[in-house]
Amino acid sequence: MFMGEYNHTIDAKGRLIIPAKFREELGEAFVITNGNDGCLNIYTKEAWETFLEKLLLLPGNEDKRKMVRALVSQADSVELDKQGRILIPNTLRERAGLIKDVVLAGAIDKIEVWDKSNWETATGDTDIDDIAERLADLGLNI
């Protein structure tokens, strides 16, 4: 399970340090692709394969085709270098607006990679009480 928030920088070549706590869970090779709300998602190989298996079982409709185009066609397998960094493909860096300051946020089964200013915008006005109330209606109490 991935949790926590880490601030790092991405270098001019597109390399990003993966926090040690995340590296332990990820292993040596994993998958990075587009995520929701303008971030990127990093999945373990196992979590990615589970997602693909579920995707394959869905009926072949327009939503499935769009999901394949948005996530699967953009996905890339990445490996850690000796310094614990990954090279994020340029197309993914551009899509997420990753230039320098980056936030890696644990999201249970994946890691979200955000441009820092986009992360602050996405999380800055979060009303935890309001969200907790709506989730309580679904049976989840905190």
126: pLDDT strictly greater than 80: no
Give the lowest-confidence range in 25-29, 56-60, 111-115, 122-126: 122-126
Give the pLDDT of residue 139.
85
Question: In 3-state terms, what secondary structure has residue 42?
Answer: strand
d(CA 44, CA 56): 18
CA dihedral 27, 30, 36, 39 (to 10 degrees): 80
Rounded to whole angstroms, the Cα distance separating 29 from 35 reads 19
Alpha-carbon span 85 to 73, nearest angstrom: 23
- By C-alpha distance, which of 100, 92, 128, 127 is closest to 116? 100
Paired tokens of 31: 């998958």
The band of 62, judged by pLDDT with boundaries at 50, 70 and 90, is very high
Percent of the chain with pLDDT over 70: 100
**CA 38 to chain CA centroid, nearest Å:** 10
The confidence band for 13, taking pLDDT boundaries of 50, 70 and 90, is: very high
Q: What is the pLDDT of residues 108-117, one digit of tens each?
A: 999 999 999 9
Query: What is the CATH number that goes with domain 5-137?
Result: 3.40.1550.20
Q: What is the mean pLDDT of residues 105-125?
A: 94
Q: Is the pTM of this model over 0.95?
A: no
Report how far apart, in Å, the C-alpha atoms of 134 and of each of 24, 107, 127, 141 are. 34, 19, 11, 10
More confident residue, 100 or 134: 100
Question: In the structure, what pLDDT confidence band is assigned to residue 136 with cuts at 50, 70 and 90?
Answer: confident
